[in-house]
Chains A and B, each alone.
Chain A
């Protein structure tokens, strides 16, 4: 199974400041078609996870442009350019290159 490792696990951020979350995979997520099979999700308190970024860098419908994804192979990053109060929750990366689909441990973003 592909192991997904996120850091940090906890991320206190001042509103208006940037934030960055790292995700590393135990195997390359780069497919021969050139796509990286890595998605990012946000789980707000008491809610189901919601898709933010798919295939490494594509924002899902309705996701603000302050969210961006980057990286390739085994190293990926989710960046929030200016954190807002509504961004509080747990962020997960997920690999969809192979079965079983696997998730990172989650990064809890909190407002300072």
Chain B
């Protein structure tokens, strides 16, 4: 049974970097058939896909245009997890953040969610 466990701080100061980690159990971040995604949810923006990382003989990353200049998603094969870094955050980045596995054409496994508040 695949599970995703999120960790990271719930409070980030404006202009700083938001960092979250998603630990994978029951699958591998290096899987050739899954992609590993970050999604956020807020009242103003609804569910918003932020980006993904995946391995297909080499590593790929794809990001939403809305955050492309500020986001990095990195896999860590030694720890079997992937991370989200979002730079230069503002209060508009306040949201509930999810990691999710995309497998066989759907987000079939989701993390538990992390509420991140951007405030001084």
Q: A residues engaging B (CB < 8 A)?
A: 35, 37, 39, 41, 48-51, 54-55, 60, 92, 94, 96, 99-103, 105-106
Contact = CB atoms under 8 A, between A and B. Distances in A.
Interface of B: 37, 46-49, 62, 64-65, 98, 102, 104-108, 110-113
Do most interface residues of chain A lie in helix, strand or loop, or is the interface mixed?
Answer: loop
Contacts of B105: 35, 37, 39, 54-55, 96
A100 B98 contact: no
B107 A41 contact: yes
Contact of A48 (B48, B104, B112): B112
Contacts of A60: 106, 108
Given A92-B47, A100-B65, A51 B108 contact: yes
B50 to A, nearest CB: 9
24 contacts: A35-B105, A37-B105, A39-B106, A39-B107, A48-B98, A48-B110, A48-B111, A48-B113, A49-B47, A49-B98, A51-B108, A60-B106, A92-B47, A94-B47, A94-B107, A96-B102, A100-B49, A100-B64, A100-B65, A101-B37, A101-B49, A103-B47, A103-B49, A105-B46
Contacts of A41: 107
Contacts of B107: 39, 41, 49, 51, 94
Contacts of B37: 101
A92 to B, nearest CB: 6
A36 B66 CA distance: 26
Nearest to B104: A54
B46 A103 contact: yes
Task: Please provide the 6 A-B residue pairs with the shortest distance between their CB atoms, ordered closest to farther.
Answer: A54-B106, A48-B110, A103-B47, A101-B49, A39-B106, A100-B64
Contacts of B64: 100
B114 to A, nearest CB: 11
Contacts of A92: 47
B108 A99 contact: no
B26 to A, nearest CB: 14
Contacts of A37: 105
A49 B108 CA distance: 9
